[in-house]
Amino acid sequence: MTIRVATAADAQYADQLCQWYVESAKTRGTGIAKREPAYVAKKMESGDAIIAFVEDELAGFCYIETFDDKSFVVNSGLVVNAELRKHGVGRAIKQAVFDLSRTKYPQAKIFGITTSLAVMKINTDLGYEPVTFSELTQSEDFWKGCKSCKNFGILMENERKMCLCTGMLFDAADKLVQVQVPDFATMVTPPLPIGTDPAPSSETDSAS
């Protein structure tokens, strides 16, 4: 598996990644903010994204955003190729984007909001803790990203204090947990035929 910082050359994958977001939202039946290919490509060009490949096949993606004069950083838009789930791809990407956030914005608090249990478990391993929305950024730019989520009405009814997502925050500069990246070269388990896996099609972070 190859995991690296995305570049402008990776913009060719933006459409495919955005389609994965749409498919994941439909499969899970929960809120996932919509992303546009142009926005995903912009994150690649700015060096604020992580992209992964397994044997030259696109495996997953995640990007970062900053708010409140870079005092908050969100790791957002985690998505994993449906055929590569449950092999540690999402975990490895989350570790990489977490490290990128710590490198580029070492003084920032790192946060995310998600409905995915898999993402919550990974975040917990990285040192995140569940928090109320009041402890997250109050930037309008962040919360307006939730407008494309099916649960936006719930968020607004609760005056942005709660929703179906769980808020998670990393706020300890000296705490860093390394997650082992699996060696895909040693895996011999054949892939399941298409349509036989009843699990959700991807692991997706719901943060906008």
pLDDT confidence of residue 173: 53
CA 33 to chain centre: 11
- Mean pLDDT over residues 96-109, rounded? 93
Q: Is residue 29 exposed (0-12), middle (13-18) or buried (19+ Cβ within 10 Å)?
A: exposed
Q: Please state, rounded to an integer, the average pLDDT across all residues of the chain.
A: 82
Taking the C-alpha atoms of residue 184 and residue 55, their distance in angstroms, rounded to an integer, is 9
How many Cβ atoms are within 10 Å of 196's Cβ, its own excluded? 7
Q: How far is CA 8 from the centre of its chain?
A: 19
DSSP class of residue 176 equals: -
Tens of pLDDT, residue by residue over 159-203, are: 788 888 899 999 865 455 444 555 555 544 455 555 544 444 344
Residue 30 confidence (pLDDT): 56
Q: DSSP labels for 64-104?
A: EEEETTTTEEEEEEEEE-GGGTTTTHHHHHHHHHHHHHHHH
pLDDT given at position 32: 60
Q: Is the pLDDT of residue 204 over 60?
A: no
Question: In this predicted model, what pLDDT tens digit does every residue of 124-152 receive, in sequence order?
Answer: 999 999 999 999 998 988 888 787 778 88
Residues above pLDDT 90, as percent of the chain:
43
19-72 pLDDT, tens per residue?
988 887 676 655 566 789 999 999 999 999 999 999 999 999 999 999 999 999
Residues 6 or more apart whose Cβ sits within 8 Å of residue 127:
170, 172, 175, 176, 177
The partner residues of 111 in beta bridges, in order of sequence, read 74, 169
Between 9 and 116, the higher pLDDT residue: 9
